[in-house]
Amino acid sequence: MTTDIETIGMLRNSLERYMEDNYSFLQRLERMREPGSFSQQIWAELAEFGFLSLCLPTENDGLDGDAAVVGALMEVAGKALLQEPFLMSAVLATRLVARLGNGEQRERLLAGLASGEVVLSCAVEHAHQCQLEDNRLSGRIPLVMHGDAANGLLVAAQDAQGQLHLCLVNTDQSRVQRTAARLLDGRGAASISFDNAQVELLATPNNGLSVADNLQLLLDEANVALCAEACGMIDALLHTTNEYLKMRKQFGRPLAVNQALQHRMADLYLLQQETHALTQAAQQALTGPAAERARLVSGARSYISDAARKVANEAVQLHGGLGITEELDVSHYFRRVMLLNSLLGGRDKHFLRFVEQSLTAA
């Protein structure tokens, strides 16, 4: 696993420079008006620069990046409001294939994921809604992020005995029906129905964990990545708001000299430090015992969800009427934060999980 601080810094700086040159707010706004839920050109360039190989095993010419590396890039993605399926395809799907695919599946899929030619989305938290029988999948998943553009889906399903399986579903077959939609922040998604769809099982764990344990580990990793993305958005919102308060004048004086506003900003900067510290703690917990991992990850996700929402609300209010306009980036961060708080369980589910694990450990 990649933990070298210099490597992490190099990757972060490289992605930041790319985003500054190719993914400014105005450039992103223009692309959102075009057909398609994300830019194929940007996706191809991310692959060319090696960012989609981040989570590939080293034997497949990848970096085998750990949570700290993923988190560093997710912070940059949060600041840039990245539309492309980096988390779903390049991180989560790649890790599932690497951990649960057999030799032939890894060889066939990982190269395509790294090159960007294969885009996979994951639906692993709705296993009770999908039934597997004789390698045929039936059921419906209400919403899958990037499910509108994915070549395939990694779906968790249960068989008649209640055993959990991971299925790879080709989305081009007639027994898979997709209804495309746009999420609150403009990213693509789809409601997906399976009617005896033919699937391919990924059932060769190579890390000593069962399929069920691998899926739970992946969900925890995904939530920690969302924490890092929230940190990036908080950083961007505070920078934008601070610059606005210094520039905007009222009665001939910048708003930044108002003591009440200074106190409000100080509270937000305190939240910023806390979210970064909690994200780092959750990243470290991913390599620890499952119970402690569950407690720390869900505790961090719950707290950071609240913190990001407070920062986004305050940023909108401190900008006044401008804060809700389409032409200002603050409103776009606000939408992404609202959506973030409903993904992969959201704040309430993770708060309950944190409480349950804390009481068990007491």
- Top-level class of domain 211-361: mainly alpha
- Give residue 4's pLDDT band: very low, low, confident or very high (50, 70, 90): confident
318-330 burial code (b ≥16 CB/10 A, e <16) = bbeeebeeeebbb
Q: Give the pLDDT of residue 17.
A: 97
- Please determine, looking at this structure, whether the domain spanning 5-115 carries the CATH number 3.40.50.720: no
Cα separation, 143 vs 152, whole angstroms? 15
What integer pLDDT is reported at residue 15 of this predicted model? 97
Considering the segment(s) 120-201 as one domain, its CATH architecture is Beta Barrel (2.40)
H/E element holding 145?
strand 136-145
Domain ranges of the chain: 5-115, 120-201, 211-361
Same topology, domains 5-115 and 211-361? Answer is: no
Instruction: Outline where the chain has alpha helix (H).
Output: 5-22, 25-32, 40-48, 67-80, 94-100, 103-115, 211-247, 259-285, 290-319, 329-340, 346-361
Check if the beta carbon of residue 216 is closer than 8 Å to that of residue 188.
Answer: no
| Rounded CA separation 362/360 (Å) | 6
Q: What is the pLDDT of residues 322-362, one digit of tens each?
A: 889 999 999 999 999 999 988 998 889 999 999 999 998 86
For the cut 70, the answer to whether the pLDDT of residue 11 exceeds it is: yes
Does 50 have pLDDT greater than 80? Answer: yes
pLDDT tens digits, one per residue of 85-127: 999 999 999 999 999 999 999 999 999 999 999 999 999 998 8
- Whether the pLDDT of residue 68 is over 90: the answer is yes
- Average of pLDDT values for 122-147? 94
* DSSP assigned state of 129: G
Both tokens of 319, joined, read: 């900008």
What are 261-301's pLDDT values in tens digits?
999 999 999 999 999 999 999 999 999 999 999 999 999 99
**pLDDT value of residue 207:** 87
